[in-house]
Structure 1
Amino acid sequence: MKFSENWLRSHVPTQASRDELSATLTAIGLEVEDVTALGDGLANVVVARIVECAKHPEADRLQVCQVDAGQGTLLQIVCGAPNARPGLLAPLAMVGANVGGIAIKAAKLRGVESNGMLCSAKELGIDADASGLLELPANAPVGTAIGDYLGLPDASIEIKLTPNRADCFSVRGIAYDVAASLGSEVKPFDTTPVPAQSPSVLSIELEAGERVPRFAGRVIEGVDATAPSPVWMTERLRRSGVRPISFLVDVTQYVMLELGQPMHAFDKDTLEGGIVVRPARKDETVALLDGRTVTLDDEFLVVTDGCGGRAARAVALGGIMGGLDTKVTDTTRNVFLEAAHWIPSAIIGRSRKLGLHTDAGHRFERGVDPELPRIAVEYATRLILEIAGGTPGPTTVVEHAEHLPKPSAILLRRARIARVLGVDIPDAEVERILRALGLQAAAVAEGWSVVAPSRRFDIAIEEDLIEELARIHGYDRVQTTLPGGATRVAAPSETRVEDGVVRRQLAARDYFETVNFAFVDAHWLAQWGADEGAVPLANPLSAELAIMRTRLLPGVVAALQRNAARQAGRVRLFEIGNVFQAPAQPGDAPVESLRIAAAITGDAAAEQWGVPARKADFHDLKGDLESVAALAGATLEFRPSQAAHGHPGRSADIYRDGARIGWIGQLHPRLQRQLDLDADVVAFELDLAPLTVRALPRAAELSRYPSVRRDLAFVVAEDVSWAQLAATVRRAAGPLLRDVQLFDRYVGQGVESGQKSLAMGLILQDNSRTLTEGDVAQVVATVVAAIDEAHGAKIRG
């Protein structure tokens, strides 16, 4: 927000210097980003009129001007400005003035005497324009000090606002904070209605429900649209970063900057019928003031010039920009002023969707005082009548009262103030601050019953009021003593492996962690077949980041692809993060779950001379995953997967304790082509919580007795997996079994077609004695019988 210092001071009288004012603004949370001084040191610079111009006898680009400076005699000035001409009014630095660090003296230029200097805006220090003399309006009083005429010296102050301070998008809104901080009072603002002088009105209908609960409009006939904007208005606009265009446009901009209410002026004669505010129709178009024609959908709101919604013509894009066909011009005679209250949710994201950024949209997205539309229309009417004349009709206000915010009282307790801030603020000071901020405060037993003004959307609870007190009273006056009391140290649970431990384990196995946005491109998820149950964002940063991710793998693999495209031959990435699913019941919050995903491509090991190079495969990634599972003492089971994104026969669903917790495998070749991946990619994704649950660790003595190993080879059907056999062995072998290991798989001569030979080693041990041959034989016999019964497997001869 940029504004004129003098404009602010016109609303809140204060003796504070410019530096003190800037420091105060920053201290109360309105951070000053830039202060540009304007027109300092303009003594002896006056308004002057060029009476005559003659060519300089010795220079082609110079003119000898006779200038009236209001002294009764003409001054001869040598000037090289291209726009110097008879009748022009411009600033004149008299002899003795000091402009831009140059002392003005009587001098001869190429032999011709010159008694002063006609000035450009840059030379006066009020603008960057140095292309010619600063042209003043034809009614500028000759001889008047330029500082008095242009309201100088002044400064253009730019502040950075946080999103919650939408009320400070106006000079008057800033004035309340300044008044409270500097012990002043904001001057009353004249809101007296301008009496109607004609019955001319336009009907207004609101068909957008709660999205536009209030709309004010007024017809003014017989306006002189060619009337120039007064200097005080144009200068305040320029110093606020707004380029003056024409009086009727400037008035709406001026009211917006001063009060914070965006508004628009229509050429009434271009409107057909009354005004209707309604949702846009799909593929409806509107030509905007900037010359662009945009295509809309039903998320947008439009102002039309029909009645009852029957007319198809949209004449403005609600809350964002007016239409081209109904704009005011120099030929406009009859004006329709409008000011409406558009709620933030009806405007948020709409400008960005069209690639627009407007002052009106910026304000409505953050919230505008719902009480301002009538006030803004009355104020703009008064300015138009004073400068351009006209006959006003009555102000029409249409509203849906049930959708307008209702003021509610907030209890502010003095004990709560002391507890939260740690300081005692006197009651008189509390009341002064609240009153200066425009809040209504009534004393009650515990403190005050406070009603916030309608412009302060950010004040809803007691803590908001306490924040206001701290901000204005001064953060530097709040004690820095640390609060006392005991804190409870929460020890990490021994029944869960911490996320940090998992991260360190994967980093130790040569993985890099990647962090991706939680919102992704819908096309990504569709490629993976993971778009079911996706949660769309109401206000996306861009079309490519429009929905919440349902899986981690698309983001991890996208990061892998970017690395591979930059000649990284061996890439190993993982991510731990939340994924989101639409709720089962409408209106509930999305369902979040924490997951872990990883993807690898390239060589299994970094390049070295001691080991032959080979490509990473399913088993490399499976080993890394099992190392993570080992942290929790978990045994994972892998079953063939039918996932669409997985390679048939090279991917598996992951189970723990009979429950599916994720997927691992090589990506499907078709998906790899779509993702522009040249090399094979192996990946996994699973829920993190079930992977990291572990039993409470218990200390146990290691057995002092030797272990016994027995190797067995079974011939079993090809479709029986090792995981199934191992599970059967563990169930049958009993407490003596310490481990079972697969050490060979064989198909070929000696094994029937459709069969395979799996060789395993059983590790047996007891804690209390040395096992006998009978003990071992009994376990082996039980295992052989169990495998035969469960899988039809026979001992290989």
Structure 2
Amino acid sequence: MRVPLSWLREYVDLPAGETGRDVAARLVRAGLEVETVEQLNADLKGPLVVGQVLSIEELSGFKKPIRHCFVNVGDANGTGEPQEIVCGATNFAVGDKVVVVLPGAVLPGPFPIAARQTYGHTSAGMICSARELGMGDDHNGIIVLPPEYEPGTDAVELLQLVDEVLDIAVTPDRGYCLSMRGVAREAAAAYGLPLADPALLDVPPANSYGYLVKVADPAGCDRFVARTVTGVDPTAQSPIWLQRRLQKSGIRPISLTVDITNYVMLEVGQPLHAYDRNRVDGPIQVRRAQDGEKITTLDGVERKLVAEDLVICDNTGPIGIAGVMGGASTEILDAAAGPGTTEVIIEAAHFDAVTVARAAKRHKLPSEASKRFERGVDPEAARAAAQRAVDLLVLIAGGTAEAGVTDIAAPHPLRTIAIDADLPDRVAGTEYGRETVTRRLQEVGCTVAGADIAGADILQVTPPTWRPDLTDPYDLAEEVIRLEGYDNVPARMPTVPPGRGLTEAQRFHRRTGVALAGAGYVEVNNYPFVGEAALDALGFEKDDERRRTVKLVNPLNDEEPALRTTLLPGLLGALRRNIGRGNTDLAIYETGTVFLPKEELRVAPRLPVDRRPTDEQLASLDAALPDQPRRVAVALAGERLPSGWWGKGAGAGWADAVEAARTVARAAGVELTVRQAQRAPWHPGRCAELLAGERVVGYAGELHPRVIKALNLPERTSAMEVDLDLLSADGAQRVSGPAVSSYPVATQDVALIVDSAVPAAEVEAALRDGAGELLEAIRLFDVFTGEQAGAGRKSLAYTLRFRATDRTLTADEATAARESAVAAATARTGAVLRGA
């Protein structure tokens, strides 16, 4: 909402020295978001005056029309003599009143004006267009003023060229601030000044001889006011003050009747629509559209209506989409295009906010009217707005207001809210007092009455009709607090209730991120959306369960209409973007939820918004939601250890991805088992299946070459993905620091020959079980294949660390534990001790 400061002063007597920035600061303190304060023509310097064209000489021999003029500027030039000016515009004639800037002036830009020789004549000044004066973008011709202004009149004041405009971002709950009336009310409260309410007008009561209107849908239209003005002069032009206020507010002047409806909308906040009565066939009707009905709106587009649309009709069919835009068949005609409109019906109605919002979105037809209706319009402002428009048509266009007044109003009971007088004190943690609370609520338009209920000081508050957002006591408390100033609310640290904090799952998730960050990974966050193209690039088979996704009804991007079932598409996309920007050595990770549809698809119920849903309703909603397990994934590319003068570095590979999974498992206090597997999108020979106990919790390894090529990633790019919920379900616990023993460790090495098909994880598990409780750690440090191991055989070398918690182990005890471990491996895997 653009608010000219000069217009705002008409309703609030602001101090004379207050600038736009001062007013903006007060409004921001009261809770409005003032984005900018625009200084209009701050660098403009006169003399800029009204001139009358006395003579015009058409100069020939040039590529464009050139006119040598003499213009009467009164005494503004100091001599009273006609001013000689050369001009290239052709839209004015002898006798017209124009705007003249004289030598010594400075136009917006800045653009200094001086007398100069041009086209063989002296040009002492310039005849101005709207764009040259900062009034708009129209540069096709100069401004022609009404004939009543005398030559020499100051045009700066006449055209209201110097002003300040506040640009306010109005939130959806503050729709009343999309009007000068609403912003003026906020300014009056902020300054503690009285408000001159433009809606306080004497309005005649409804009678039976107004224009006939039938409302068939009171739920969609609970108020409809119609007034008629006859004898309107179709040639009448909008006065300069009205045009300038519209221009400063961001609306282009069109014609007098349309300008008046726009002006009243900006002033009062009630959208209006004007019909040419001679083009309306029969009574006006308000009803829902029939599927397939059509209407050509004022923008010249034919639109197909649906049954949910609320429309204004006459006997010929729809003549307007209620609250959005009128129809071309009954629009006001300009006298320049033929016989102009002389009889006008003014519509001031109140439409259902949801209906208007959906219609505007459905037809892709946002308008100034729909923007206000969907945020809430005061239903009691319709009568005053219609009266204001009628008064302006009578005053400016010479029309006559008919005595008939149509006012169809559905019952609109006022709601009363009971609020403890000290509720704002308790919410803000300060003391306002009952008197301040009452005064502030009255300033926003509430009616306040006191009541003593069971010894409690209760205020019975009736919000005004223009504040549909005030629905409960805490809304009222917020009004008091914001008007008293958020900066006056004391800053106090809240008292933390004992016995609370992060849940164990939250602690685990934090440990996971810290562990990966400590290992050199950088966290990224991606959108949870995915499309078929991304799943194809990962090489998922047609029957892969990860292709079964939850589709969005209204996706942000048609190419990504579903929710992700794996973190890899977004993570690998982030990897590709960073590599494309020159970051070749990367190790990134992401934690987040994936969305897995349930076997039985259910439709989520629509829960009520006027009360708390029941437990059954919440359970039904939960049952319809997809499963959302939390996962962690990493991706690596380039060098894991950098090259330098010290030697060649080491590239990231599948082993780093597996180690990242182990890092996550250690944060959960879980030991992972790793075994070979095949699963897209990993390389079939370099893919590890990760198990916690007997449950598969994830996969890690090098990506398949086809996936790397499809995603344009570097060779050997590796990735890992682990289900954190499954990992924590299999033994996640509070992780403590390692115990430091005072007794020495006994180290024993063992090399076993096994069949090549035997996984190293099975051999390790057998050694661990056979070694018993004395085993502290086991590590595979060498894998050997060759003639010495035998065909189809491999050698696995392990280091076993033994330690007792209560004594120093003897050599015989360590050897016995080692032999027990080897025996278990021999029995379970067929291992043979190397060299035996």
- With the length of structure 1 as denominator, give the TM-score of the two structures: 0.77
Partner of 2:30: 28
Q: Is the 8 A contact 1:549 1:579 kept in 2?
A: yes
Partner of 2:268: 259
Amino acid at match of 2:9: R
Question: How far, CA to CA, are the matches of 2:39 and 2:571 in structure 1?
Answer: 48
Question: How far, CA to CA, are the matches of 1:112 and 1:437 in structure 2?
Answer: 63
Question: How far, CA to CA, are the matches of 2:46 and 2:779 in structure 1?
Answer: 98
Distance 1:735 1:65, change over 3 A: closer
1:433 correspondence with 2:449: no
What does 1:458-537 align with in structure 2 at a 5 Å threshold? 458-475=469-486, 478=488, 482=492, 502-518=512-528, 524=534, 530=546, 532-534=548-550, 536=552
Distance 1:3 1:562, change over 3 A: same
Partner of 1:235: 244
Question: How far, CA to CA, are the matches of 1:419 and 1:710 in structure 2?
Answer: 71
Question: How far, CA to CA, are the matches of 2:792 and 2:122 in structure 1?
Answer: 115
Question: How far, CA to CA, are the matches of 1:93 and 1:643 in structure 2?
Answer: 79
Q: What is the CA-CA distance between 1:479 and the residue it aligns to?
A: 6.5
**Helix, strand or coil for the counterpart of 2:182?**
helix
Partner of 1:6: 6
Amino acid at match of 1:85: A
Partner of 1:620: 656
Amino acid at match of 1:684: M
Partner of 1:86: 94
RMSD over equivalenced CA pairs, Å: 5.5
Q: Is the 8 A contact 2:425 2:433 kept in 1?
A: no
Distance 1:355 1:559, change over 3 A: farther
Distance 1:244 1:780, change over 3 A: same
Question: How far, CA to CA, are the matches of 1:561 and 1:39 in structure 2?
Answer: 50
Q: Is the 8 A contact 1:784 1:795 kept in 2?
A: no
Q: Is the 8 A contact 2:745 2:801 kept in 1?
A: no
Q: What is the CA-CA distance between 1:117 and the residue it aligns to?
A: 9.0
Question: How far, CA to CA, are the matches of 1:114 and 1:793 in structure 2?
Answer: 108
Partner of 2:616: none
Q: What is the CA-CA distance between 1:457 and the residue it aligns to?
A: 4.5
Q: Is the 8 A contact 2:451 2:460 kept in 1?
A: yes
Partner of 1:415: 422
Amino acid at match of 1:27: R
**Helix, strand or coil for the counterpart of 1:438?**
coil
Q: Aligned match of 2:144 in 117, 135, 147? A: 135
Q: Aligned match of 1:63 in 69, 77, 93? A: 69
Amino acid at match of 1:430: V
Distance 1:69 1:479, change over 3 A: same
Q: Aligned match of 2:700 in 642, 658, 664? A: 664
Q: Aligned match of 2:642 in 606, 613, 622? A: 606
What does 1:369-768 align with in structure 2 at a 5 Å threshold? 369=378, 376=385, 379-380=388-389, 383-384=392-393, 387=396, 389=399, 395=406, 408-445=415-452, 446-475=457-486, 478=488, 482=492, 502-518=512-528, 524=534, 530=546, 532-534=548-550, 536=552, 549-579=564-594, 586-587=604-605, 588=621, 594-608=630-644, 615-638=651-674, 643-677=679-713, 679-688=715-724, 693-697=732-736, 700=739, 702=741, 704-707=743-746, 709=748, 711=750, 713=752, 715-716=754-755, 718=757, 720-743=758-781, 760=798, 762-767=800-805, 768=807
Partner of 1:341: 351
Distance 1:109 1:705, change over 3 A: closer
Question: How far, CA to CA, are the matches of 1:32 and 1:258 in structure 2?
Answer: 21
Amino acid at match of 1:536: L
Question: How far, CA to CA, are the matches of 2:603 and 2:460 in structure 1?
Answer: 39
What does 1:155-170 align with in structure 2 at a 5 Å threshold? 155-170=164-179
1:584-637 deviation per Cα after TM superposition (whole angstroms, max 9, x unaligned): 772537666543221112344323466656653322211233234334443112
Amino acid at match of 2:145: L
> Where do 5+ consecutive residues of structure 1 fail to align?
none
Distance 1:22 1:508, change over 3 A: closer
Which range moves more in the overlay, 731-740 or 146-155?
146-155
Amino acid at match of 1:605: L
- With the length of structure 2 as denominator, give the TM-score of the two structures: 0.74
Q: Is the 8 A contact 1:638 1:655 kept in 2?
A: yes
Distance 1:592 1:92, change over 3 A: same
Question: How far, CA to CA, are the matches of 1:32 and 1:141 in structure 2?
Answer: 40
What does 1:274-423 align with in structure 2 at a 5 Å threshold? 276-277=287-288, 289-290=298-299, 302=309, 321=325, 327-330=331-334, 333=341, 337=347, 339-343=349-353, 347=357, 358-364=367-373, 366-369=375-378, 376=385, 379-380=388-389, 383-384=392-393, 387=396, 389=399, 395=406, 408-423=415-430
Q: Is the 8 A contact 1:217 1:338 kept in 2?
A: yes
Amino acid at match of 1:173: G
Q: Provide the aligned length of Structure 1 versus Structure 2.
A: 774
Q: What is the CA-CA distance between 1:418 and the residue it aligns to?
A: 3.1
Q: What is the CA-CA distance between 1:255 and the residue it aligns to?
A: 2.9
Question: How far, CA to CA, are the matches of 1:103 and 1:600 in structure 2?
Answer: 63
Amino acid at match of 1:165: R
Q: What is the CA-CA distance between 1:560 and the residue it aligns to?
A: 0.8
Q: Is the 8 A contact 2:53 2:69 kept in 1?
A: no
**Helix, strand or coil for the counterpart of 2:422?**
helix
Percent identity for Structure 1 against Structure 2:
29
1:101-145 deviation per Cα after TM superposition (whole angstroms, max 9, x unaligned): 999999999999999997766787866878765322356688987
Amino acid at match of 1:586: A
1:26-72 deviation per Cα after TM superposition (whole angstroms, max 9, x unaligned): 43233362143579999998766546556899x974322457899xx
Partner of 1:248: 257
Question: How far, CA to CA, are the matches of 1:306 and 1:131 in structure 2?
Answer: 39
Amino acid at match of 1:63: C
Amino acid at match of 1:617: G
1:174 correspondence with 2:183: yes
Q: What is the CA-CA distance between 1:717 and the residue it aligns to?
A: 7.7
Q: Is the 8 A contact 1:452 1:459 kept in 2?
A: yes
Amino acid at match of 1:12: V
Q: What is the CA-CA distance between 1:238 and the residue it aligns to?
A: 1.3
Q: Is the 8 A contact 1:238 1:244 kept in 2?
A: yes
> Where do 5+ consecutive residues of structure 2 fail to align?
541-545, 606-620
Question: How far, CA to CA, are the matches of 2:643 and 2:115 in structure 1?
Answer: 83
Question: How far, CA to CA, are the matches of 1:644 and 1:103 in structure 2?
Answer: 72
Distance 1:733 1:152, change over 3 A: closer
Distance 1:274 1:784, change over 3 A: farther
Q: Is the 8 A contact 1:42 1:124 kept in 2?
A: no
Q: Is the 8 A contact 1:40 1:152 kept in 2?
A: no
Which range moves more in the overlay, 1-10 or 500-509?
500-509
Q: What is the CA-CA distance between 1:438 and the residue it aligns to?
A: 1.0
Distance 1:761 1:53, change over 3 A: closer
Q: Is the 8 A contact 2:35 2:168 kept in 1?
A: yes
Partner of 2:610: none
Which range moves more in the overlay, 754-763 or 616-625?
754-763
Q: What is the CA-CA distance between 1:172 and the residue it aligns to?
A: 0.7
What does 1:66-145 align with in structure 2 at a 5 Å threshold? 76-81=82-87, 82=89, 83-90=91-98, 133-138=142-147
1:258-299 deviation per Cα after TM superposition (whole angstroms, max 9, x unaligned): 233445456674889955445988xx9986655667899x8x
**Helix, strand or coil for the counterpart of 2:10?**
helix
